[in-house]
Structure 1
Amino acid sequence: MSVQEVFSLAPFVALIGLAVFVVWGVVWAVRYLLADSMMRASIRQAVRVRRTWKRFAAMAGLSVTDKTPTAMASLSNADGKPPKPRLLTPTLKVTPDPFGVMVQANCLPKVGLEEFQKAAPYIADAWRCTRVSVAQNKPGQVLIRGVRVDPLITKTEHTPSGKVPEKLSVWNLGVDEYAQAVSVDLAEVPGVTVAGLPGFGKTSLINRFICDTAPSPAVQFAVADGKVMAAHEGDYADLMGRLFAFAGSDLEEANALFWKLVRLRRARSTAIKTVLRRKDMWHGGPSVDWPWAVLIIDEAHTYFRDHKGSDKETKRLAALAAQNARLVEELVKMGRSVGILVILATQKSTGDAIPTFIRDVCPVGLSFAQKTADAAVAALGEDIRDWPDASPTVLQEPAYVGVAVMKSSGQKGFTRLRTPYVSEDDSADIAARTAYLTADPADLLAAQLPGIDLTKTGSDGDSIPPLAA
């Protein structure tokens, strides 16, 4: 192709380039116009980050001088003078979201993770962020998270999808202070404790768990709610259709429910190798015939409180409370491998509310706002004393309703997270749509092994009859 032919194509190339630019501009404008106000602010923030990056990087010590000339610079050097050194800055990929920007930055010699972390306060100021975090994304690249608005004080709502979750055991809790999703895998977990002052989000958090997992027939729920006397009252009234068992604040009623779950545990322990051909349900996961049985004990202190007095009624209540503690202890200590999970919620998980022999074997613990440091320690362990900024004692303001603290998985420190609100209408809708999936796990097991009798009333000497030959 001759030079003249090349020049004759130049207008067409320019036209194609202009068309691409126009299409990109239209796409960007449409995206901007369709976004809500928070997303628009983040898009503008992303544009500002890209536009000012080279100048800011040089001022913040995030650039390096390269004195070695490139091959092209050496070839084009006609006057014999050394080429000027080049100022190199890390390349960025900026992605906006409603809370701020997510930035991937490539490292350079002498500009790596440590340098970015030292510059984080300056980055927060320059990008007008509430806070900035810097972490290793992959070798040679860091991930910078800048949040423009504080996710912890930005209330969010969650609408259950009504679909079976991709992984049943994963509990999606909410977002952390950098608006990153926080979840916990409850497979092989025997117990969870949720503590916090009344009205700060304990029941709402559990409500989301039920609503998200309810569409699966491989999970069944039982609830003991110490705040109410009857099933039609309180926070779980809308979910009754999806519960295979319920007990109110009456200790005798709760005792019967705990015995029901204990007999199920013992029967499952006897039958698991026969039915599942394995020792641990989680090695294959729950199923319709052997569902994950989740017992939720709300206001747990109601059922374990030590009753003082010498009259007959007080002694009866004290005996029931002591037995309730022993039964729940058995479920937490021995129920994991057969697919039983216990979630205990209370205002403060001190030893008088949840006996330590139960609380201390629950590997997952969360706490909403607490009034005292001792209550925070009871909920999260002694380490929380070393992280005062993360303590739930600083979450007592109304703006922090729905904010919890949990031990960070696989790293030091604690995670603060915002849990979303699930409306009562959405809860009732999910329960109504999935009520047909409700089944008593004991009935399911009995149908598979008629030789096991799960109808007997429990007692401390209760035993499960041997399997039929």
Structure 2
Amino acid sequence: MILASASSGRETWPSWVLLVATVLVSGLFITGPVLRRRYPLAWWLLLGFPATALRVMYTWRALMAGCGLAVSRRPALTVVSGLVGNGAPPPQPRVPRRGLVRPTAGGFWLLVRLLPGQVPEDFVKAAPAMAEDWQVHAVRVTSWKPGTVRVAASVCDPLAAPRVPKQRGPGRLLRVAVGVLETGTAWVLDLRRIPHWLIVGATRSGKSTLINALVAGLAPQPVALVGIDCKGGMELSLYEPRLSALATNREQAVQLLTALVDLTLDRMTVCRAARVRNIWGLPDKERPVPVVVIVDEIAELFLVSSRNEKDEAQAAGTALIRLAQLGAALGVFLVVAGQRVGSDLGPGVTALRAQLGGRVCHRVADPGTAEMALGDLNPDALKAAQAITPEQAGTAVLASGDGWERARSHLITEVEAEAVAAEYAHLTPVLSELHVEAS
């Protein structure tokens, strides 16, 4: 009697598990639309990703064969004469080995082992077919290590409506979330990691919006903000309450840049006396305040129409290059922006470009500017930047020595950035050595 009862319990246990699982799955599918609208991340991890991962595993072999990435195990002649002729089915083609499908906030990624004779470019060409077959927004293929590529997919376009992250307090020093990457993660500008940036973009491409987001993120931090806007200060004067110095013409810019070079040399003397390589090795109480220099419309510094202007432009360019060379270790960081950046502005622009390790390229009016910004880092990034349309304001390609990505900055208006600058005006450091005389 006891044995019969135990046996009955063992038989009903799988049924209960199956019933509970069925109810849970049914509930998820019923509440799926509401869950997707209100909690998209939860919907993706619970429903979207499992279904997509199964689709990837189910279609992998046929997809590889259709894209020409499968290799026959035997020569075709041998197959026909030795196997098919005897009524045996032909051997399955050999396909690249796929790793685990791993979820991200807005998609998934996996590693693929290349077959002999294959190169990453073969998979790059097949990316559109993968996106179509897996029913996702986009697929991007990058090299992971020799013989292996990383395939990353985005289910929807995270750049369509980037959301401003909820940030409490000033955050980490010199680190600002300014937008969202195409992977769905936050686009973070970390000046400690990449100290100098070049930002290019045509009118209404999103360049000013990115600067607004950067200023709004740096304003609550214990840093000095310095502005150089040779268009009479029309752009950067909005943040003047939070700026430690502002130059509104080239003559003032030369004064300010010269003072900044002197400031870095003074800091160099302090570091040498303390036997440290940079200001971050100094004790907290002795460490000078970091300085972020924002240069708007770099072309205004280099365009000349007379001999006197040529000397000013050369002095400004030389000072900027020195700051880029010395500033990273001494707490001076450059953010250089412009509508057009090209070698026709003078040899100083090319030398400066080489010192700016981070690049952001919005939609540009001429291919030469995109080439100047991204061409020396990654040709694929250059193609992606040239494909940005006028309707994609705020969308940009950012590149550094680590690679490149598409991103979109948060929409922060001038009014909002101006309000943030006024709110944190009391944090503005007074740097008397950066005093600029009116002209």
TM-score (norm 2): 0.73
Alignment partner, residue 124 of structure 1: 131
**CA root-mean-square deviation:** 4.6
Alignment partner, residue 66 of structure 1: none
Alignment partner, residue 425 of structure 2: 435
Q: Deviations over 1:389-422 (max 9, x none)?
A: 6263433x312322223435335xx543333322
Alignment partner, residue 200 of structure 1: 205
Alignment partner, residue 252 of structure 1: 251
Q: Structure 1 91/388 Cα, relative in aligned 2: closer, same or farther at 3 Å?
A: closer
Contact 2:245–2:435 (8 Å) recurs in 1: no
The correspondence for 2:406, drawn from 416, 419, 427, is 416
Alignment partner, residue 295 of structure 1: 293
Contact 2:292–2:332 (8 Å) recurs in 1: yes
The separation in 1 between residues aligned to 2:224 and 2:158, in whole angstroms, is: 33
The one-letter code sitting in structure 1 at the alignment partner of 2:325 is K
Alignment partner, residue 218 of structure 2: 213
SS in 2 for 1:145: strand
Q: Deviations over 1:348-388 (max 9, x none)?
A: 2224547233333222233222333332222234566x548
The correspondence for 2:312, drawn from 292, 317, 320, is 320
State the shift of 1:432 in Å: 3.6
Alignment partner, residue 265 of structure 1: 264
Alignment partner, residue 84 of structure 2: none
The one-letter code sitting in structure 2 at the alignment partner of 1:131 is A
The separation in 1 between residues aligned to 2:371 and 2:124, in whole angstroms, is: 30
Alignment pair present for 1:401 and 2:393: yes
User: Matches of residues 29-428 of structure 1 in structure 2 within 5 Å?
Assistant: 32-36=33-37, 39=40, 46=49, 48-50=51-53, 52=55, 55-57=58-60, 59-60=62-63, 95=103, 97=105, 101-103=107-109, 120-134=127-141, 144-151=151-158, 154-158=160-164, 161-166=167-172, 168-170=173-175, 172=177, 174-179=179-184, 181-183=186-188, 185-187=190-192, 189=194, 191-217=196-222, 219-229=223-233, 233-234=234-235, 236-237=237-238, 239-248=239-248, 250-274=249-273, 278-283=276-281, 289-308=287-306, 315=308, 317-353=309-345, 355-356=348-349, 357-382=351-376, 386-387=379-380, 390=383, 392-395=385-388, 397-411=389-403, 414-428=404-418
Q: Structure 1 51/187 Cα, relative in aligned 2: closer, same or farther at 3 Å?
A: closer
Contact 1:220–1:438 (8 Å) recurs in 2: yes
Alignment partner, residue 8 of structure 2: 7
Contact 2:360–2:396 (8 Å) recurs in 1: yes
SS in 1 for 2:402: coil
Contact 2:361–2:397 (8 Å) recurs in 1: yes
The separation in 1 between residues aligned to 2:112 and 2:354, in whole angstroms, is: 44
State the shift of 1:245 in Å: 1.5
The separation in 1 between residues aligned to 2:229 and 2:305, in whole angstroms, is: 19
Q: Structure 1 455/336 Cα, relative in aligned 2: closer, same or farther at 3 Å?
A: closer
* Stretches of structure 1 lacking an aligned partner (at least 5 in a row): 64-88, 310-314, 444-453, 459-469
SS in 2 for 1:337: helix
> How many residues end up aligned between the 2 structures?
405
State the shift of 1:327 in Å: 2.7
Q: Structure 1 21/331 Cα, relative in aligned 2: closer, same or farther at 3 Å?
A: same
Q: Deviations over 1:313-360 (max 9, x none)?
A: xx3x44433332333233222222211112211122224547233333
* Stretches of structure 2 lacking an aligned partner (at least 5 in a row): 71-96
Q: Structure 1 302/116 Cα, relative in aligned 2: closer, same or farther at 3 Å?
A: closer
Contact 2:374–2:382 (8 Å) recurs in 1: no
SS in 1 for 2:328: coil
The separation in 2 between residues aligned to 1:374 and 1:293, in whole angstroms, is: 31
Q: Structure 1 162/296 Cα, relative in aligned 2: closer, same or farther at 3 Å?
A: farther
TM-score (norm 1): 0.69
The separation in 2 between residues aligned to 1:278 and 1:118, in whole angstroms, is: 49
Give me the identity figure in percent: 21
- Pick the structure with greater CA Rg: 1
Q: Which has the higher helix share?
A: 2
Q: Structure 1 455/332 Cα, relative in aligned 2: closer, same or farther at 3 Å?
A: closer
